Amino acid sequence: MLHSRRNYPLLLLSQFLSALGDNAILAVIVGQLTYLQKSGVLTEAQLRTHNTVYTSLLFVPFILLAPVAGFLNDRHPKTSGLAAGNALKLLGTLICALSILWGPLWQGVGYLVVGIGACVYGPAKYGILPEILPRERLVRANGMVELLTLVAILGGAIAGSVMADLWKDSVSNSYAVLVAIYLGSFLLNLVMRRTPANPSVQWNANLGAFQGHLRQLASAPRLSRMLVGTGLFWVCGAAMKINFQPWGLQVLRLPDNTQIALLGLWLSVGVMVGSILAGRWFPVGQLQRTRLFGFALAGMLGLLFSVEHLAFWRQPTLQAGPLHLVIPVLGLLIGTGVAAGFFLIPLNAALQAESDPDKLGKTIAVQNLVDNLGMVGASLLCLISVPLGISASGVFLVLAGFTAVIVALLKIPLPTPISAGAPAPNTP
């Protein structure tokens, strides 16, 4: 392993800062829309449209540029991929700042560049783990990366919202803080010990190789099901996040957006707990209980549907200062997150450990593609539920049913025993 004592902690800190910036910058951009709407510059419909467009810009590069990201991370050192991703995010933030002088269009252009940076950075942050850590530490390392990412997602969303409110008339201050965050992450990448490159990977064969690798992954009985499983996690996460606002207002009668945002906090706390415990309890490749945790996730989603129809879920409540906490619902959300964490982390670690090391960048790029397509699908689910007359609670029921069906079909075979000198099982 190459310099794990140095590179691993630097990777964790860099990933935290980078993910913090990714979520804070969106909160800063969208936070400005609130005040534009309050001042009458934007209508409510325009605010929703702008919000949707800005949010979806992050998904576009992951869907369109997955082959490019895979090529870059297979050919070049993973440390270079991390640095390049953060450099693009830093550039995107500076472009966003041009909106102060030249109008909001530049925020969209800049945030799209941030998304491209995230697309480049994503495969490197996971692909570097097998290069700097021994196999037996991969599950725990994945759990730690996911834990820090979730903390950064929550912290970034809150910090960005605070900046948007505090500096609503001085947006340049917010962008200055964001530049500092990305710059810090970039500098940490620069001081990491360089990981190896693979010059044999050629650009002119990249797209065909990516498509071939995608087909090989799809035909590998074990690896393909791992990809479906991780994609399902993100379908559930995105749909729940989108659905929390109408559900919180209509069912829980929460008074404001802060209370609704806490729903995501409790869910994330559960995912963190599940991620940590999965990293400690399950060796790499042990996926026999994956479907059990998937069915548990579906069951918890079904219980969230029942909150509207069973009054006992909505009592007792706790008023802690400005916070209005519905205790049983809080427990349901944490439990849902725990089940989701147990479902995701062993799949992530096994996918990395059992993929061809020389094509790991492409494998993770394919995973990013699947995950982002899943999030787009989750958005469509929430979108079409309105004209179909499906309530906010009903979305949870549909999601529970969909999850249960996919998990029922997700029979992950045991790994093929490896004879001396034989290639790894299911390795495309």
**Do 18 and 62 belong to one domain?**
yes
**Which residue has 């059990």 as its token pair?**
292
> What are the phi and psi torsion angles at 318 (to 5°)?
-130, 125
Q: For residues 89 and 14, give the distance between their C-alpha atoms in angstroms, rounded to a whole number.
A: 13
178 shares a domain with 135? yes
Asked if residue 420 belongs to a domain, the reply is: no
Domain that holds residue 339: 206-412
Q: Does 94 fall in a domain?
A: yes
Claim to verify: residue 133 and residue 229 sit in the same structural domain: no
Question: Is residue 183 located within the same domain as residue 82?
Answer: yes
* Number of domains within the chain: 2
Are both 391 and 322 inside the same structural domain?
Answer: yes
Q: Is residue 162 part of a domain?
A: yes
CATH code, domain carrying 226: 1.20.1250.20
Which residue has tokens 């409510």?
44
Distances from the Cα of 20 to the Cαs of 114, 180, 181, in angstroms?
Answer: 13, 11, 8
Along the 428 residues of the chain, how does pLDDT read in single tens digits?
Answer: 445 577 888 999 999 999 999 988 988 887 787 677 667 787 655 665 676 678 778 878 888 887 777 777 778 888 888 999 999 999 999 999 999 888 888 999 999 999 999 988 988 887 788 788 877 777 788 778 877 887 898 888 878 877 887 888 889 999 999 999 999 999 999 998 888 777 776 666 666 777 777 787 877 777 778 888 889 998 998 888 777 767 876 788 776 656 767 787 889 889 888 878 877 777 666 677 788 889 999 999 999 999 888 877 777 877 776 666 778 889 999 999 999 988 888 887 777 777 767 666 677 778 878 888 888 888 778 778 877 888 888 989 999 999 999 999 887 776 665 433 444 444 33
Tell whether 201 is covered by a domain: no
* Inside any domain, residue 417: no
The torsion angle over the Cα atoms of residues 365, 204, 193 and 142, rounded to 10 degrees, is: 10
In this structure, the answer to whether residues 253 and 392 fall within a common structural domain is yes
DSSP state of 419: P
The one-character DSSP state at 415 is P
Q: Do residue 157 and residue 236 come from a single domain? A: no
Domain assignment of residue 322, yes or no: yes
Is the Cβ–Cβ distance between 254 and 119 less than 8 Å?
Answer: no
* Domain shared by 399 and 310, yes or no: yes
- Pair 338, 218 in one domain: yes
- Within a domain: 396: yes
Q: Return the closest-CA partner of residue 19 out of 85, 78, 68.
A: 85
Same domain, 220 and 335: yes
Q: Which residues are CB-contacts of 268 (< 8 A; sequence separation ≥ 6)? A: 150, 153, 154, 337
State whether 219 and 181 are in the same domain.
no
356 is a domain residue: yes
- Do residue 166 and residue 220 come from a single domain? no
What whole-number distance in Å separates Cα of residue 174 and Cα of residue 112?
Answer: 18
Select from 124, 158, 189 the last residue of a domain.
189
